[in-house]
Structure formats: structure tokens, C-alpha cells
Amino acid sequence: MEPPKSLLHHVLMVSFPGQGHINPLLRLAKCLASKGLLVTFSTTQQTGQMMKEATNKTDDTTSNIGDGQLRFEFFSDGWDIDEPKRASLDAWMHQLETAGRDSFIQLINQHAEQGRPVSCIINNPFVPWVTDVATELGIPSAVLWVQSCAVYSIYYHYHHQLVSFPNPDQQDLTLDLPGLPTLDFQDIPSFLTLNPFDSLKQVILAQFKNLEKAFCVLVDSFEELESETISAMSHLAAPIRPVGPLFKSQNDVKVRGDMWKAADDCLRWLDSKSPGSVVYVSFGSIVALPKEQMEELGSGLLNSGLPFLWVVKPPPKELGIGSGLPDGFVEEAEDKGSVVVEWSPQEQVLDHPSVACFVTHCGWNSSMESLSSGVPVVAFPQWGDQVTNAKFLVDVYGVGLRMKKCTKKDQELVTSEEVERCIVEVTKGLKAEELKKNALKWKKAAEEAVAEGGSSYRNIQSFVDDIKRMA
Ligand code: UDP
Ligand code: UDP
């Protein structure tokens, strides 16, 4: 389908090929198309292939949304499309930047030759080289930050060495930054404080070298949620514009970017359960818990007495390891009225009235989705920004509890007793009513932010006006 000639403004959006990056960028893509722009969504060919297979898309990669249009186009990262990737993160990032860059520039040139030159490029973190390409070609560029404003502020202060951060030998020190609550060591993104994450830390910080070239930094958050942090950052060169929760705007447009096939029949299973009775458990697209932790979690879930829907993502086939679930667990869970799936339609699950609470790793997308669906959480953060998000969900937004680890069989684990205790506390305990009330308050605030006239709605609108003015 050729784009209508009336679509003068063409936005090219480039996502790092990970689910937690694709989702918010694709949601923004739908939102911008609905405002009458031609939007091309792009990531690597291999991931594009996974998305097509998971969502049963065949040839039709174009959708008309409102007055605009959304197209998909993928670029090569230099790897054979069917080849499993076993390279180190450093090697993979290097390949993505070198081969991806050339293929990406070709894509921009083709658009110009075909009469729809790119007027703005938007990329998300982990592909900071896209901003360089935009600068070289003289195309205005913006960034979609896919974590919270609070985490942006922390990385910003770290990158510019504005304060000193505690190291692993100073775990009793705290961190105080403008517009943020005092953070304990356990609340600071682990990529900054713990040595094993050095190469990820470099990747994350690399984007800050480029941010000032972007005319604007959009964030999948909303002003009412992070007002103090946002006002403390109002002096930054690239202004922060919260435009979220992105999944709440245009969520009736059924364009999905799942990399794995979602078990949609779990929605019918949820229909069969009573309101507020189900525990939803998911740790996003990357986290894999050790076997012993899976066992503790599994028995805690069974002992809670509530039916649960647990997403257990199988590890990549080439690694040849099991799911980490004890033998016979899935059958026992099903006998007791619960379900284990490999990938869920999470947005719809969290919006389902049967869901009582969300046991989550606190990835930023999952955090925003639970807050804006009004679902209280049991926080089980693993690394990166998840620990900071957990701090905010529990202590600032007041929507849940954080599970505590202890030493068991020489390992640091959350025990089955702690899993059970937290689930029961959040769903039926003394604070359950207050947690639900707070969660519903955030749901309302999120809906107002994206509704016509709301803070995120206005920020999107002024961003679209900027694009039109610059073209
Ligand atoms: N990835 C890859 N090879 C690597 C590292 C990452 O192909 O060596 C791809 C992988 O397909 C994944 C995406 O990059 O979907 C996100 O990578 P990240 O390191 O964030 O997470 P993980 O590799 O643990 O899934
Ligand atoms: N997700 C999903 N089905 C699942 C698990 C996760 O659709 O079974 C989606 C979830 O809604 C979210 C994204 O995958 O949008 C995960 O992003 P998040 O930032 O929470 O975690 P990450 O995968 O980056 O660690």
C-alpha cells in the first residue's frame, strides 16, 4: 500500500531489537500516526521476522491509523537472518552499529528516492549511533527514553560526574539527588554500582554523549507521576517531555510487536475466574531466575491458595537448558486451577478484572502497565533500573511490597514463605485496601494524562507541531 501523498511529514523510528524497547517505541509510532504523520517503524530484520511470526502478520505491513499511516521496514544487522546469535554483548553491539548503520543509511536514501524523505528520526536507547547518522544527514532527531525520568536523572548525574556514587564496598552509603527520594544502595541501578555490568554500563552511558544532539527527549512516563523529578531536570539542554503511558493512547489499534506468540487463550481462562482473585506473575522478556529460586517461587504461589497465571519464558533453544520449573509443577498447578504460559498478552491481562496483583521484576514497561491498569504489585527486581522502579512502586507510589531475600542453602533467595506472605499481604492483608486505592488513583491519573487536554496529550501535540515546523 503506497502512503497517501497528503502525508507530508515522515517520521522514521528505530528500535533496539529487544521487547522492552520495541513496545514503547511501537506505541509511540501508533500515537504519532494517529496525528496524521507517515511513520516508519524499524528494527533489525531478524527481530522483524520474529514479530511477524509471533503476530501472524503476512505481507501487509502497513496500517492506516486516523489520518496517518504506520509502515514497518527492517534493516540488516549483518547477521544471517536465521542464525542464532551467541556473540558477547560487546560483539553484538559493535555488529549492530557497523552493519546496521550502513543498512539503515540505505533505507533513509531509498525513502528520499521514492519521494518520501525522512523529516525526523526517533530512536530509543542502545542505538545511540542513530543520532549520529541523523546529525550527519542533517535530519532532526529525538530520543524516546524507555525508562523512568528518575532513572534518567540518576544516569545523567553519573555520566556528568555531578555526584559520587557508592561502590560495592560502601553499601551503607545513600544517594541524594535533586527531585528524588534518598536512595539506598539497593535502589541505585545495579549497572552503576556492581562491577559485573561494566559493558552494559558503557552502552547505557554512551547514549548520554549523544543526547544533546536530540532536539527533544520523550519519556514513557507522565508529569503527574514524576512531577518533582521532572521539575528538577527542567534546566537540561535536551528538554524532557513525558508522553506516557504510551500503551494507554491508541490501545484500540491492534498493531502488536510481540517477539513471541502470546497465549491469548489465557484471557478466556481469566474470564472464568472471580474478580480480583488471580495472581499474575511475569519477569519480562530477559530475566531468567535460577532453578532454586523458581522452586521457591512455585511453592510460594501454590501455598498462597490463589489461582495464578505465570509466564515462564523458555530459554533460547541453542542453550539447551530447561525452563527451571520443577518436574510435574505445571500439571500440579493446572490440577489446582492455575496456568503456566510461555508468553502472555500482558496489557490485556493486567487490564482484566480478575487480576488481583502482579508479581513483577519491575521492568519500566511492566511498572507503567501495572500502575496504569490499577493493579497492586509484589516487587521482585533483579538488576538494572528494576531496583529503582521497585523503590518507587513501593515507597513513592504506594502500590505494593518488595520481597526480601535471605540466605537459604548458601544462596541468597526469596523463600516460598516470603512469596506467600507478600501475595497474601498485598491481596488480603491490612494494607491491601490502601494499596488498591493508590493503584486506582494512578490508573485514573494515567488515563487523564493521555486523554484530550491531558499533560501527555499536550506534550505529544507540541512534539508533532515541532516536527511539522522543522520539515
Ligand atoms: N542479542 C543477541 N545476541 C547477543 C545479545 C543480545 O542477539 O549476544 C539480542 C537478543 O536477541 C535480545 C536482544 O538482543 O532479544 C536484547 O539483548 P539484551 O542483551 O538486552 O538481552 P538478552 O540478550 O539477555 O535477551
Ligand atoms: N510482556 C508481554 N508478555 C509477557 C511478558 C511481558 O507482552 O508474557 C511485555 C510487557 O507487557 C512489557 C514488555 O513485554 O511491555 C517487557 O518490558 P519490561 O520493561 O517490563 O521488561 P524487560 O523485558 O525489558 O525486562
The edge-to-edge listing of strands for the beta sheet with 278-282 is 339-341, 308-311, 278-282, 355-360, 377-379, 400-402
Residues contacting 268, CB < 8 A, separation 6+: none
Task: Answer whether 142's CB lies under 8 Å from 215's CB.
Answer: yes
DSSP 357-415: EEEE---HHHHHHHHHHT--EEE---STTHHHHHHIIIIIS--EEE---EEETTEEE--
Nearest ligand 1 atom to the CA of 285 is 25
Q: Which protein residue has the closest C-alpha to ligand 1 atom 6?
A: 89
Residues contacting 95, CB < 8 A, separation 6+: 77, 78, 79, 87
Task: Round to whole Å and give the CA distance between 164 and 178.
Answer: 14
Sort strands 62-65 and 411-413 into parallel, antiparallel or unpaired.
unpaired
H or E element at residue 219: strand 216-219
Burial zone of 76 (CB within 10 Å; 0-12 exposed, 13-18 middle, 19+ buried)? middle
Residue 350: which region, alpha, beta or left (left: phi > 0; alpha: psi -120 to 50)? alpha
Centre of ligand 2 from the C-alpha of residue 211, in Å: 25
Catalytic residue among 21, 157, 352, 361: 21
Sort strands 141-145 and 278-282 into parallel, antiparallel or unpaired.
unpaired
| Of 92, 95, 97, best ligand 1 pocket probe by most atoms within 8 Å of the beta carbon | 92
Centre of ligand 2 from the C-alpha of residue 284, in Å: 4
Q: Which protein residue has the closest C-alpha to ligand 1 atom 25?
A: 286
Count the helices and strands in the chain (H runs, E runs).
17, 16
| Of 90, 283, 286, 365, best ligand 1 pocket probe by most atoms within 8 Å of the beta carbon | 286
Amino acid sitting at position 118: V
Task: Round to whole Å and give the CA distance between 60 and 267.
Answer: 26
What are the distances in angstroms from CA 381 to CA 134, 151, 403, 469? 35, 14, 9, 42
Task: Round to whole Å and give the CA distance between 152 and 78.
Answer: 31
CA proximity to 304, closest of 379, 378, 408: 378
Q: What pLDDT does 186 receive? A: 94
Sort strands 120-123 and 68-72 into parallel, antiparallel or unpaired.
unpaired
Centre of ligand 2 from the C-alpha of residue 420, in Å: 23
Cell, residue 143: 530520543
Residues contacting 133, CB < 8 A, separation 6+: 101, 104, 105, 108, 121
Task: Answer whether 366's CB lies under 8 Å from 282's CB.
Answer: yes
Dihedral sign of CA atoms 392, 395, 398, 401 in order: positive
Query: Which DSSP state fits 44?
Result: B
Residue 155: which region, alpha, beta or left (left: phi > 0; alpha: psi -120 to 50)? alpha
Helix axes 364-373, 432-450, angle to 10 degrees: 100
Q: What pLDDT does 84 receive? A: 61
- Give yes or no for residue 18 CB within 6 A of ligand 1: yes
| Of 22, 23, 287, 377, best ligand 2 pocket probe by most atoms within 8 Å of the beta carbon | 23
94 as an active site residue: the answer is no
Centre of ligand 2 from the C-alpha of residue 19, in Å: 6
Q: What pLDDT does 8 receive? A: 80
In the chain, helix, strand, coil percent, each to 5? 45, 15, 40
Burial zone of 11 (CB within 10 Å; 0-12 exposed, 13-18 middle, 19+ buried)? buried
Count of alpha carbons within 13 angstroms of residue 326, beta-carbon side: 13
Q: Which protein residue has the closest C-alpha to ligand 2 atom 11?
A: 346
Digit-by-digit pLDDT tens for the chain (471 residues) are: 666 656 689 999 999 999 999 999 999 999 999 999 999 999 999 899 999 999 887 656 788 888 899 999 999 887 766 666 666 777 888 888 888 888 889 999 999 999 999 999 999 888 888 999 999 999 999 999 999 999 999 999 999 888 889 988 999 999 999 999 999 999 999 999 887 777 778 888 888 888 878 889 999 999 999 999 999 998 887 779 999 999 887 767 778 899 999 999 999 999 999 999 999 999 999 998 999 999 999 999 999 999 999 999 887 665 555 678 888 999 999 999 999 999 999 999 999 999 999 999 999 999 999 999 999 999 999 999 999 999 999 999 999 999 999 988 888 999 999 999 999 999 999 999 999 999 999 999 999 999 999 999 999 999 999 999 887
